[in-house]
Chain A
Amino acid sequence: MSLVADNISLRIGSKLLLNNINLTVEPGEFVAILGPNGAGKTSLFRVLTREYSFFEGQVSLNGRAYTDWKPQKIALQMGVLPQASALNFPFTAYEVVLLGRLPHSTGRVRDQQIALQALAAVDAGHLADASYLSLSGGEKQRVQLARVLAQIWLQTDTGEARYLLLDEPTSALDLAHQHMILQCARRLSREGLGVVAILHDLNLAAEYADRLVMLKDGEISTQGSVESVLTPERIQSLFDVAVDVIPHPKTQQPLVISTAGVHGL
């Protein structure tokens, strides 16, 4: 049981966006996808989340290729949070979260409990009755995350592993909520979910992810443990920016600090 991308290549027009990507996400692990702009992070995300179907290679979920799954069955075990939301109608935050229960037939009362718990889990319980359109960008992002959490809140009936895929989940959030959301994601991975997140902040990734996948020019440049991936040379060659990597004063985890703006070094 895992989420496996096998030999993925993606071409749009004459442009090769992904080249020979091999990636496995096991239940219980938190994988962060990193890389400079245009490296193919979002393309890979769209392949993993079935938004693109015209790629070469194969993605399989819990042992079966995507093409062998019914879309409704995939929705029972996989929650996806895209980057921006187009919702332009005055649902309340609670109603938005309740939409996450659409693939399930657990009954109205149970669904409502789950929606409220999911809202509380992203620190948005107080927003339940607010119109989604009146929320700030960060609040919208948290409500959308609550919707995705509500979708995969319960163990599946068949016991299949669940997955949570997040595209830049922290982009609109303040510092406290960035950590809150990633703590939530890591807690879910400890409960046995496979979590994949596209992140930009190397230090956030280092703090929360079990494994880092570095993309560059549509290829996986390196993947592995935080310590093995985050080296100054690698970051310099990928992002073209001068950095130092030092141990965190308390946890000893790698900490990436830029030296690009420091004069006279």
Chain B
Amino acid sequence: MLQVENKRRMIQLSLGMLALLLALTLPLSMAIGPMNISTVDAFASLGGALGFQIAEIPQHISVIVEQIRLPRAVLSVLVGAALAVSGAAIQGLFRNPLADPGLIGVSGGAALAAVAMIVLGNSYLLFLQAWLEPYSLIVAAFLGGFLTTLLVARIATNKFGTSIVTMLLAGIAINIVTGAGIGIFTYMADDNQLRTLTFWSMGSLGGATWETVAAAGALILLAIVLIPLKAKSLNALLLGESEARHLGVNVDKVKRQVILLSALAVGAAVAVAGMIGFVGLIVPHLVRMTLGPDHRYLLPASAMLGGLFLLCADMISRTLIAPAELPIGLITSIIGGPFFIALIIFRAKRFSI
């Protein structure tokens, strides 16, 4: 009996465990926050929200659970899943386990557009802001991320197809440009705008409402459902582009679809939650180290672990210095940075990067 057969069973078990853990943590997170709500009350009002009248719950508690904590928890799971799945898919596409959705320009573009909207929102872009309010920031970030990715992909495409190396270079160049643009807007900003854009750049799920969940969720779910359908093609792509082509994979189509779906999901995630770093990098890594690189398992496992990771990070964010909130981007970066360093050392020891 090959190890691979045992491995498959282990993987299926792990996927089940992850799903179970997520299903348990989500309702538990209802009980955690600046206001004390007992686990029983949290479960009861959650039941009420789903239409099961379990027990009498004070009005203010059920409002907090249904209108504040539940949309926030759902949004953190969605954003975490979006970042992790896109990260895993982009790493497969670039055949580089250290790649990140930011490489294709989506984060930089989203940040530049959001900062522009914050700084110019009540002057040059007033007409846009007035038209889109209260979603002006979300729409700007999403469009910024999406259009930048399209630009990067366009630069990297010629008669030989889309070159991943050129795309990497174009992404780096675009990130420099967007970084400079953000710097210029930061320089122009007044004190109040400076505060807004600083907090936006550190990420927060505090603005979660059912409206943002619905808007971002639609785009994110699209990616979470459709990207795993490309799992086998992504596996073949790990062998190399020409190898994948010889195995009958329509390489250019897969590249286009994965980049488009990732840009949609990450653009939506950045738009509603700001800049949340490292989830797209460390979550797929953790999964790959335990379950292996097979995208058929890597993608769904990354989605679930990413959701779980961000759900827990958000719980830390709203309890650590309650009643104030520590921006979630700081938490993921505090965990992610050292993890990444450890990863580099570990990899350098085993096989050079």
Task: Decide yes or no: A80 and B246 within 8 Å by CB, A86-B240, A87-B238 being known contacts.
Answer: yes
Q: Is A239 an interface residue (CB 8 A)?
A: no
By Cβ-Cβ distance, the 9 closest A-B pairs, closest first, are: A75-B248, A89-B293, A72-B248, A80-B246, A103-B248, A86-B240, A129-B3, A102-B247, A89-B238
- A-contact 0/1 string along B15-48, CB 8 Å cutoff: 0000000000000000000000000000000000
- Please name all residues of chain A whose beta carbon is closer than 8 Å to the beta carbon of B293 when the two chains form the complex: 89-91
New contact pairs (5) apart from A86-B239, A95-B292, CB-CB < 8 Å: A49-B246, A75-B246, A80-B243, A116-B2, A129-B3
Q: Is B351 an interface residue (CB 8 A)?
A: yes
Q: Is A28 an interface residue (CB 8 A)?
A: no
Q: Is the CB of A71 within 8 A of B243?
A: no
Residue of B nearest to A92 (CB): B4
Q: Compute how far the CA of A100 lies from the CA of B293 in the bound complex, rounded to whole angstroms.
A: 16
Q: Compute how far the CA of A96 lies from the CA of B294 in the bound complex, rounded to whole angstroms.
A: 10
Q: Is the CB of B248 within 8 A of A76?
A: yes
The smallest C-beta distance from B256 to any residue of chain A, in angstroms, reads: 15
Q: Is the CB of B292 within 8 A of A90?
A: yes
- Please name all residues of chain A whose beta carbon is closer than 8 Å to the beta carbon of B96 when the two chains form the complex: 88
The smallest C-beta distance from A126 to any residue of chain B, in angstroms, reads: 12
Q: Compute how far the CA of A100 lies from the CA of B236 in the bound complex, rounded to whole angstroms.
A: 9
Inter-chain residue pair count (beta carbon < 8 A): 84
Q: Compute how far the CA of A27 lies from the CA of B111 in the bound complex, rounded to whole angstroms.
A: 58
The smallest C-beta distance from B336 to any residue of chain A, in angstroms, reads: 21
Q: Is A141 an interface residue (CB 8 A)?
A: no
Q: Is the CB of B243 within 8 A of A85?
A: yes
Q: Compute how far the CA of A112 lies from the CA of B8 in the bound complex, rounded to whole angstroms.
A: 13
Residues of B within 8 A of A (CB): 2-4, 95-97, 159, 232, 235-236, 238-240, 242-243, 245-250, 288, 292-294, 351
Which residues of A200-218 have CB atoms within 8 Å of chain B's CB atoms?
none
- Please name all residues of chain B whose beta carbon is closer than 8 Å to the beta carbon of A95 when the two chains form the complex: 4, 292, 294
- Please name all residues of chain B whose beta carbon is closer than 8 Å to the beta carbon of A74 when the two chains form the complex: 248
Q: Compute how far the CA of A100 lies from the CA of B243 in the bound complex, rounded to whole angstroms.
A: 10
The smallest C-beta distance from B12 to any residue of chain A, in angstroms, reads: 13
Q: Is A51 an interface residue (CB 8 A)?
A: yes
- Please tell me which one of the listed residues B242, B292, B351 contacts residue A91 in the complex, with CB atoms under 8 A apart: B292
A-B contact pairs, 23 of them (CB 8 A): A49-B246, A50-B245, A71-B248, A71-B250, A73-B248, A75-B246, A75-B248, A79-B246, A82-B240, A82-B242, A85-B239, A88-B96, A91-B294, A94-B2, A94-B4, A96-B239, A102-B235, A102-B249, A103-B248, A112-B2, A128-B2, A129-B4, A133-B351
- Please name all residues of chain B whose beta carbon is closer than 8 Å to the beta carbon of A91 when the two chains form the complex: 238, 292-294
Q: Is the CB of B159 within 8 A of A54?
A: yes
Q: Is the CB of A89 within 8 A of B246?
A: no
- Please name all residues of chain A whose beta carbon is closer than 8 Å to the beta carbon of B246 when the two chains form the complex: 49-50, 75, 78-80, 82, 151
The smallest C-beta distance from A102 to any residue of chain B, in angstroms, reads: 5
Q: Interface residues of A toward B: which range?
A: 35 or more
Q: Compute how far the CA of A141 lies from the CA of B238 in the bound complex, rounded to whole angstroms.
A: 16
Which residues of A35-93 have CB atoms within 8 Å of chain B's CB atoms?
49-51, 54, 71-76, 78-80, 82, 85-92
Q: Is A154 an interface residue (CB 8 A)?
A: no
Q: Is the CB of A103 within 8 A of B97?
A: no
The smallest C-beta distance from B7 to any residue of chain A, in angstroms, reads: 8
Residue of A nearest to B161 (CB): A53
Q: Is A184 an interface residue (CB 8 A)?
A: no
Q: Compute how far the CA of A50 lies from the CA of B252 in the bound complex, rounded to whole angstroms.
A: 14
Task: Decide yes or no: A103 and B247 within 8 Å by CB, A54-B159, A92-B4 being known contacts.
Answer: yes
Q: Compute how far the CA of A50 lies from the CA of B97 in the bound complex, rounded to whole angstroms.
A: 28
Task: Decide yes or no: A88 and B248 within 8 Å by CB, A94-B2, A128-B2, A129-B3 being known contacts.
Answer: no
- Please name all residues of chain B whose beta carbon is closer than 8 Å to the beta carbon of A86 when the two chains form the complex: 95, 239-240
Q: Is A99 an interface residue (CB 8 A)?
A: yes
Q: Is the CB of B238 within 8 A of A82?
A: no
- Please tell me which one of the listed residues B159, B240, B247, B248 contacts residue A87 in the complex, with CB atoms under 8 A apart: B240
Task: Decide yes or no: A51 and B248 within 8 Å by CB, A128-B2, A133-B351 being known contacts.
Answer: no
- Please name all residues of chain A whose beta carbon is closer than 8 Å to the beta carbon of B236 when the two chains form the complex: 99, 102
The smallest C-beta distance from A109 to any residue of chain B, in angstroms, reads: 11
Q: Is the CB of A88 within 8 A of B3?
A: no
The smallest C-beta distance from A205 to any residue of chain B, in angstroms, reads: 23
Q: Compute how far the CA of A76 lies from the CA of B248 in the bound complex, rounded to whole angstroms.
A: 8
Task: Decide yes or no: A88 and B2 within 8 Å by CB, A74-B248, A75-B246, A102-B236 being known contacts.
Answer: no
The smallest C-beta distance from B213 to any residue of chain A, in angstroms, reads: 34
